Amino acid sequence: MTCPICRTPTEWKNNPWRPFCSERCQLTDLGTWATGGYRIPGTPLTIDSERPIDEDPDPPQTGSITPDN
Ligand SMILES: [Zn+2]
């Protein structure tokens, strides 16, 4: 299977971060919907509930992802 974030082929078995390849990608995904990218209805939020999700103080940086270069 492939990590939905970075498209890296990753193992499903024994992978605590599935369907992602790593914790980093899992957090990236969390960040995506925490900033209004998308939402999963009925999913309990375990992120900071003190912080109102209102505006995006840190726009996502694309520097870490290098597409075709
Ligand atoms: Zn990944």
The neighbourhood of ligand 1, an ion, using CB within 5 A, equals 3, 5-6, 8, 21, 25
**What is the Cα–Cα distance from 48 to 52, expressed in whole angstroms?**
9
Residues 34-50 have pLDDT tens digits of 666 555 566 666 666 66
CATH number at residue 27: 3.30.50.10
Distance 18 CA to ligand 1 centre (A): 9
Report yes or no on 22 lying in a domain.
yes
**What is the Cα–Cα distance from 63 to 69, expressed in whole angstroms?**
13
Distance 67 CA to ligand 1 centre (A): 14
Check residue 4 and report its DSSP letter.
T
Q: What is the pLDDT of residue 3?
A: 92
Q: Domain count of the chain? A: 1
- Give the domain extent around 11: 1-37
Report yes or no on 12 lying in a domain.
yes
Residue 58 has pLDDT above 70, yes or no: yes
Residue with tokens 């939020």: 45
